[in-house]
Amino acid sequence: YSAIIEASKEILKQNDRGGYTIPAKGLYPYQWNWDSALVALGWASLDETRAWEELEKLLSAQWNDGMVPHIVFHQPSPTYFPGPEIWGSVESPRGSTGITQPPVAAISVRRLFESAHDKELALKTATELFPKLLAWHRWFYKARDPEGTGLVATLHPWESGMDNSPAWDEALERVPVAKLPPYERRDLGHVNSAMRPRKEEYDRYLTLVYLFRDADYDLKKLYNLSTFRVTDLCTNSILHRANLDLQWLARQIGRDDADQEIATWIARTQVAFNSLYDPAAQIYKCRDQLTGQMIDASTSAGFLPLFARVADTAQAAALAATLERWLKKVRYGVPSCDPTDARFEPLRYWRGPVWAIVNWMITDGLRAYGYDALAETVELHTLELVEQHGIYEYFDPVTGAGAGGSYFSWTAAMCLAWIL
């Protein structure tokens, strides 16, 4: 894999903007939250100091209420929409969007800490970052789970990271579209429109942004007024795993005082996850919090409870069986939507394509439950895609064609994390 390694390293260097890494030139010219946290794992294999910087820079954008924003606008860029002028952060010192993203950071801090050669730097930086991570996780419970259910709400498809997942179709359709100022999508100047969300979705993404902006991103108001509110499997799986890693870190760095608080979150979520398991479909599903209904869509997020370690052995076996069924239907796994579902679109962003970061999380989960051979298959599929088609944002699970952005940072980072 030496060619993939070299190309991946080169991509991180090219996309480095000094302390933070953009996901892809033109298409995503700022620092994205979960991208950055995953990209830090790639940096770890070539420059440990730079890996820590990535996380320090991300967490330096934390809001006073604890939220870590989904995009940080470090430098102006005309190639992305909606930028700071739409989010209303031009005149504010925040310089970011007003929503969050799946909280990968604590997971990365633990991994960097464990693999560190420079132990002193690792201890110093992890100790500095710990209170910020704890504050962010606290924010999730305060802002997004005020009733203490153990599962947090996601208020915007962009927060889920899986923007146009079929899981959001019905909930999003019910968002009444506001009278929007005319806007021009910049993503379509970089990527073929067949690979991106549709206009109906963008209108609603923007409607929600204006709604939140008018409420000054007040956490209580947002929770109550958002016309989109779901229990997202990706966010909740990542948050739970991040709590396990945060608890581990607390013990390593002598922050045992935080142990009980984190343990309470962990215990509650562990139980609450059972309400998201669909035994008939043999997969976990998201829930629409506004209707209370389980969402009838099987997506790759349905396997992430393995990454979270919340599945029991029977559930893990069922997930492995479901995954094997999916893999028989496509050439490359893991498709982001059940390939037998009518909503499956192999090139359209989160409606079918394979994503390296999801594969990385799924393989981590499979191995933890003893499904090593299946994990190996998924890993080999991913490396084959990259080797034959390039380091793309995502891939067509049927043909293998690369899609979305090219020279893509988190795909490169996952290759480095896997191979090295």
Alpha carbons 395 and 386: distance in angstroms, whole number: 9
Residue 352 or residue 365: which is nearer to ligand DGY going by CB? 352
Q: For residue 283, what is the enclosing H or E element?
A: strand 283-284
| Cβ 299 vs Cβ 167: under 8 Å | yes
137-156 residues in contact with ligand DGY (CB under 6 A) are none
Q: Mutual orientation of helices 409-419 and 356-368 as an angle, nearest 10°?
A: 30
Among 158, 307, 344, 407, binds ligand DGY (CB under 6 A): 158
Residue 145 or residue 187: which is nearer to ligand DGY going by CB? 187
Tell which residue, 392, 408, 109, has the closest CA to residue 245.
109
Q: Which residue is nearest to ligand DGY (CB)?
A: 158
- In sequence order, the β-bridge partners of residue 284 are 277
Alpha carbons 215 and 195: distance in angstroms, whole number: 32
Min dist CB 191 to ligand DGY, Å, is: 9
Handedness of CA 24, 25, 27, 30 (dihedral sign): positive
Catalytic residue among 54, 338, 345, 393: 393
Residue 305 or residue 404: which is nearer to ligand DGY going by CB? 404
Min dist CB 394 to ligand DGY, Å, is: 12
Alpha carbons 157 and 323: distance in angstroms, whole number: 24
Residue 181 or residue 292: which is nearer to ligand DGY going by CB? 181
Q: Is 163 in the site for ligand DGY (CB under 6 A)?
A: yes
Q: For residue 31, what is the enclosing H or E element?
A: strand 31-32
- Contact code string over 182-201 relative to ligand DGY, x by CB under 6 A: -----x--------------
Tally of CB atoms within 10 A around 150: 20
Min dist CB 236 to ligand DGY, Å, is: 19
Q: Which residue has the tokens 């994990």?
A: 375
Min dist CB 183 to ligand DGY, Å, is: 13
- In sequence order, the β-bridge partners of residue 394 are 403
Min dist CB 158 to ligand DGY, Å, is: 4
Tell which residue, 91, 52, 53, 86, has the closest CA to residue 71.
86
Q: Cα-flanking dihedrals φ and ψ of residue 82, to 5°? A: -85, 125
State which amino acid sits at residue 25.
K
44-83 residues in contact with ligand DGY (CB under 6 A) are 70
- In sequence order, the β-bridge partners of residue 395 are 354, 402
Residue 163 or residue 338: which is nearer to ligand DGY going by CB? 163
Catalytic residue among 163, 232, 338, 345: 163
Active site residue 393: yes
Residue 9 or residue 70: which is nearer to ligand DGY going by CB? 70
Active site residue 163: yes
Total residues interacting with ligand DGY, rule: CB under 6 A: 4
Q: Cα-flanking dihedrals φ and ψ of residue 402, to 5°? A: -75, 145
Q: Is 35 in the site for ligand DGY (CB under 6 A)?
A: no
Pairing mode of beta strands 277-278, 283-284: antiparallel
Min dist CB 367 to ligand DGY, Å, is: 28
Residue 70 or residue 94: which is nearer to ligand DGY going by CB? 70
Residues near ligand DGY (CB under 6 A): 70, 158, 163, 187
Active site residues per annotation? 163, 393
